[in-house]
Structure 1
Amino acid sequence: MKIEVTKPAVRWFKEQFDTEENQYIRFFARYGGCGSFQSGFSLGISQEMPERPLAEYKIEDCIFYVEEQDAWYFGQHNLKVKYSRTKDEIEFESQEITS
């Protein structure tokens, strides 16, 4: 699994989370909401240190990651995080893993 976060999305995170140098931002599976990976679940976001990261993406002093325990949520998909100017929010896009 891979994670990609676009530069506009990184700016959004820095504004919303008041990030510091080497700030960790976790994406995790949570019950409820609507997500593009698993029906009945959506992605949550938190600032916490990783324990057993499955995937990491470092950009502009931010480290985005997913823990191994959330691998089931993503299945055979990568995660791309983008920023929508029209909605002024981030969007999650699933991308099928290709060999």
Structure 2
Amino acid sequence: MQITVTKEASNWFHDEMGVKSGEGVRFFGKVYGKTPVHDGFSLGMVRDDRPLHPSSKTEFDGVHYFVDRLDEWFFKGYDLTVDYDDKTDGPKYDYKENGELK
């Protein structure tokens, strides 16, 4: 799984969540909601500066974005692009199949 964060999304995380260089954001699956790839689950995010067991990570503008090993199930078979949605003034998530076994 690969995580891609756009410049616009990065700006949102800096401005709205106050993340700074050296800090982090963790993405995870949570109960309730719906995504294009899961019914009954939605994608959550939280500030987390100390990943214990990241299974996927990327860095953009000095911020570490990652998924923990315990949440691999939610993203298995997909790459995640985090972009900015000006209509909702928040992040939007795009899942792209990557050929990994689901």
For the superposition of Structure 1 and Structure 2, which TM-score range results when normalised by the shorter chain?
over 0.9
Aligned to 2:63: 62
Q: Percent identity?
A: 28
How big is the shift at 1:21?
Answer: 2.0
In the alignment, the residues of structure 2 paired with residue 4 and residue 63 of structure 1 have an alpha-carbon distance, to the nearest angstrom, of: 11
* Count of residues paired in the alignment: 99
Gaps of 5+ in 1: none
In the alignment, the residues of structure 2 paired with residue 60 and residue 52 of structure 1 have an alpha-carbon distance, to the nearest angstrom, of: 22
In the alignment, the residues of structure 1 paired with residue 9 and residue 70 of structure 2 have an alpha-carbon distance, to the nearest angstrom, of: 24
| Runs of 4+ deviating beyond 6 Å | none
State TM-score, norm by structure 2: 0.90
Q: Return 71-80 or 28-37, whichever deviates more.
A: 28-37
How big is the shift at 1:98?
Answer: 4.0
Task: Map 1:1-99 to 2 at 5 A.
Answer: 1-48=1-48, 49-98=50-99
In the alignment, the residues of structure 1 paired with residue 71 and residue 36 of structure 2 have an alpha-carbon distance, to the nearest angstrom, of: 15
Can you list the C-alpha shifts for 1:75-95, whole angstroms capped at 9, x where unaligned?
Answer: 200100010122212111001
RMSD: 1.3
In the alignment, the residues of structure 2 paired with residue 47 and residue 87 of structure 1 have an alpha-carbon distance, to the nearest angstrom, of: 20
3-state SS, counterpart of residue 50 of structure 1: coil
How big is the shift at 1:37?
Answer: 2.6
3-state SS, counterpart of residue 32 of structure 1: strand
Q: Return 61-70 or 35-44, whichever deviates more.
A: 35-44
